[in-house]
Amino acid sequence: MFTRLAFPVGILFILICCQDASSRFTDCGGWLEKDKGVIHTPNFPARFPTPIKCDWVIHNPDPEKKIITYFTQYFLKNSFHLSEYDEYKNEHDYKGIQYLGEINYENEYTSLATYKPYLVIRFKVHEIGKMHLRVEEFLKDVYGFNITYEIVDNRQDIRETCSAHDCSFLGHCVASSNYENYRCECFPKFFGEYCQYGPFCDPDKGKNMCENNGKCR
Ligand SMILES: *[C@@H]1O[C@H](CO)[C@@H](O)[C@H](O)[C@H]1NC(C)=O
């Protein structure tokens, strides 16, 4: 019995594994059933491997609840797509799709609420190219994202959170351990609620690099 089965399974495996060897994708993503969690690119905030394709499926079986995604640490210009579904088994087997669009850090999104039972986040990149963001010239580059989601009662308000924009791109926006509060954690030498102050811009020392009465932020 075993050998009879193993043969066709072996062939199937070869067909799947070597079909498209020239553009093999790194495995990541996953199926998320918990009521809150973090979703991040491999190695965040360091570079993720390419080519890469990840699908995260957030499942909310309760019609009285919604999924809220908070774009806390989000540093992509493209390649991040959101869709919601009535039913979802895999990328070829689903029902009732609604495409929600591509998220770009320039949109300044901080959160998104969805009401269907499945939210699928697709991240697909062949080459890193110019899609990532240089956060601060002399500090570091940040690649990809590290965001949070929550499944909550339909009546609950969206929380006040932050994003890379709010933290002036000089810090990371992170959730408290219970995901109820969010704040900016500034890079070394930067400070202020929004990391808006630093070596060139320090109200205590009367420093302001902005000319013509501009405000530093
Ligand atoms: C990812 O996000 C979570 C929640 O905001 C935070 O606690 C964690 O420190 C972040 N990880 C990194 C590597 O920034």
Question: Could you report the per-residue pLDDT of 143-162, keeping only the tens digit for each?
Answer: 899 999 999 999 999 999 99
List the single range of 82-91, 104-113, 205-214 with lowest mean pLDDT: 205-214
pLDDT at residue 19 in the model: 43
**Cβ-based burial of 38 (10 A; exposed 0-12, middle 13-18, buried ≥19):** middle
Residue closest by Cα to atom 6 of ligand 1: 174
Give the homologous superfamily in CATH for domain 23-165: Spermadhesin, CUB domain (2.60.120.290)
Dig out the tokens for 67 from the structure. 């999924």
Ligand 1 centroid – CA 115 distance (Å)? 25
Q: What is the pLDDT of residues 4-21, one digit of tens each?
A: 555 454 444 444 444 444
pLDDT at 132 over 60: yes
pLDDT of residue 104 exceeding 70: yes
Per-residue pLDDT band at 177 (split at 50, 70, 90) = very high
Distance (Å) from CA 185 to ligand 1 centroid? 10
* Single pTM value for the model: 0.81
- What is the average pLDDT across 100-111? 86
Residue 38, ligand 1, Cβ within 6 A: yes
Task: Classify the phi-psi angles of 166: left when phi > 0, otherwise alpha if psi is within -120 to 50, otherwise beta.
Answer: alpha
